[in-house]
Amino acid sequence: MPDENLKIKNIEPSLYNEDLAPLEHHKRTWGSFEIFNVWSNDIQSLFGYTLAATLFISYGLSGWAVLSGIVLAGFIVMLLVQLTGKPSVKYGIPFPVMARASMGVRGANFPAVVRGIVAIFWYGVQTYFASTAVALLLNSLFATGNESTFLGMTALGWLSYVIVCIFQVALFIRGIDWITKFLNWAGPLVYAVMIALMIMIWYKAGPSLLSELSTIFRGTGDYKAGPVAAFAAVVGTMVAYFAAVVINYGDFARFVKTEKQMTLGNFLGLPVSLAIFSMIALVITAGTVVVFGETLTNPTDIIARVDNLTLTIIAAVTFFAATVGINLVANFIPPAYDIANLAPDRISARTGGFITAAIAFFIGALWVSFISQVGIAGFVDTLGAVLAPLYGILVADYYLISKQRLNLQDLFSAEEGASYYYDGGWNRKAMLAFGVASIFSIATVWVPSLQIFNGYSWLFGALLGAAFHYLLMRGHGASIRVVQSEQ
C-alpha cells in the first residue's frame, strides 16, 4: 500500500495524534532480527528461564515430550501474533487503533484500558525484579551486608529500584530507535551468558550430568491427570506466558518493513528460540542437581552458588538487561499507547509512558511488603482472562467480517455514519460477544470445577469471543466503505 494511502484527512482531534497515526513505510526500520529480539528478551527474562526449567520437572513427562510441548506452544503463539501483526504491518497502526474496527472508535478505549491495567501492574513488578539484579551487582562489588529495611527493601534495594526506574524512563524518552538498539544488544548477550553458565555447570558436574539428563528425559509419569493432560498443561502454560504480548503485538509489528520479515522473525524468535533456550535451561537445571545436590530453577540462586565474581557481575548485568527488555516490550510501550488512545488530543504516547511509570513505581515499591502478600494473582489472572475474548473479537472482525480491508479514514472519524462509529462510537454487538465469552474465561479463574482449564483457558476464551462476534456481526463487513486503493 503506497504511503499516500496511509495519510489521514479530516482528522478528529479526540481520536488522533502522531503516535497513533499510521506509520508510513519509509519510516519503518525493523526487520526480522528486531522481531527475533522482541521474543528473545521475552523468553530470556528471569521468570522465563524459571518457567522453562520448571516445566521439565513438574509434570512427570519425558524431556522430549516437554520440549515438544514447548515448541508446539511456540508455533501456536507464532500463529496468534501473525494474525494480529499482519494488519499493523499493512496499515501501520498500533493495537488501540486496530481495536476501533471491531469495538468502535470509542469502544476501543475499553480493551485499551484493560490491557493497560494489566501491563502497568506487571511493569511495576518486573521493575522490582530487575532491581534485584542491580542489587546483586552492587552487593557483589561492595559487599554491603545486611541492613535495616523499609517496606521490605534495604537501602541498597531502594537505590537499585530507583536506578532501574530512571533507566527505563530515560530509555523510553529516547524513543523506539534506542529501545530497538537496547533489545538488539540484550538478546544475544543473554544467550552468550546462559551458554557460558551451562558450560561452567557442565564442567563442574562432569559425566554425572548425562546420567541426570537421562533421568529427566525418561520422566516419572506421576501427573495425576495423566500424560495427555500434562502435555496440554505444558502447552497451555507456555501460551499463557505470552498472552499479554499477543493481543497488542501490532504495537511492534507496525515498525516492520514487510510481512515476510515479521514472519521470519516470529519463527526464529518463538519455536526456534524457545527450543534452544529450553534445552540450555534443562542442561543447567540437571547440572545443579549434580553440583549442588538440589534442583535450582532460579538463575540468581545458581549464580550465587557458583561463587565466581566475574560471572556474577556479567550475569547480573545480563539478567538486568533481559528483564528490562521484556518490561519495555510487554509492559511499558503498550500502556503508553493505550493511555494515549483515551485522549489523543491531550495525551501523547510519551505522556502515557510517564503516567505508566508513575503508577507502576508505587506497585513495585509495595511489592515485597504488601502486594505479594495479599493474593493478587486472582486479580491479575482475571484481567488476563478478560483479554482473551478481546483477542478473538479483534481477529475475527478483521479476517472474517472486514475481509482484511480497513477504512483508515473512518478509524479516526467520530462522524455518525462512519464505518466504525456504530452506536455512539460503541459496537454493542462486540461488547455482547465479549460479555458472553468472558464469563467462561473468568470462570476458569474462580470456579473450582473449571480450574482444569486454567492453563489454557485463554485459548478457549479467544475462540468463544471470535465465534460469538462472527455470529453477531455477519453481513456488517459489506457495509464498510474502503476508500484506499490496494496495491
Provide the mean pLDDT of the chain.
84
- pTM for the predicted model, two decimal places: 0.85
CA 459 from chain centre, in angstroms, equals: 15
Q: What is the mean pLDDT of residues 80-104?
A: 94
Neighbours of 156 (CB within 10 A): 17
Query: Who has greater pLDDT, 223 or 194?
Result: 194
Please give the grid coordinates belonging to residue 281.
535451561
Task: Kindly tell me if the per-residue pLDDT of 254 is higher than 60.
Answer: yes
CA 327/CA 374 separation, integer angstroms: 23
Residue 135 lies in a domain: yes
Residue 415 lies in a domain: yes
Q: Give the pairing type, strands 153-154 and 149-150.
A: antiparallel
User: pLDDT by residue (tens digit) across 31-71?
Assistant: 999 999 888 878 877 777 778 888 887 777 888 888 999 99
pLDDT value, residue 134: 87
Domain count, the chain: 1
Percent of the chain with pLDDT over 90: 32
CA 112/CA 394 separation, integer angstroms: 12
Residue 171 lies in a domain: yes
Highest mean pLDDT among 138-142, 381-385, 417-421, 446-450: 417-421
Residue 456 lies in a domain: yes
Residue 74 structural domain = 30-479
CA 79/CA 189 separation, integer angstroms: 27
Output the domain CATH number for residue 186.
1.10.4160.10
Residue 487 lies in a domain: no
Task: Kindly tell me if the per-residue pLDDT of 476 is higher than 90.
Answer: no
- Asked if residue 82 lies in contact with residue 74, where contact means CB atoms within 8 angstroms, the answer is no
Task: Kindly tell me if the per-residue pLDDT of 25 is higher than 80.
Answer: yes
Neighbours of 147 (CB within 10 A): 11
Residue 15 lies in a domain: no
Residue 429 lies in a domain: yes
User: pLDDT by residue (tens digit) across 370-408?
Assistant: 777 766 666 666 767 788 899 999 999 999 999 999 999
CA 458/CA 208 separation, integer angstroms: 40
Q: What is the mean pLDDT of residues 8-18?
A: 81
Residue 227 lies in a domain: yes
Q: What is the mean pLDDT of residues 229-254?
A: 85
User: pLDDT by residue (tens digit) across 316-340?
Assistant: 887 788 788 878 877 888 898 889 8
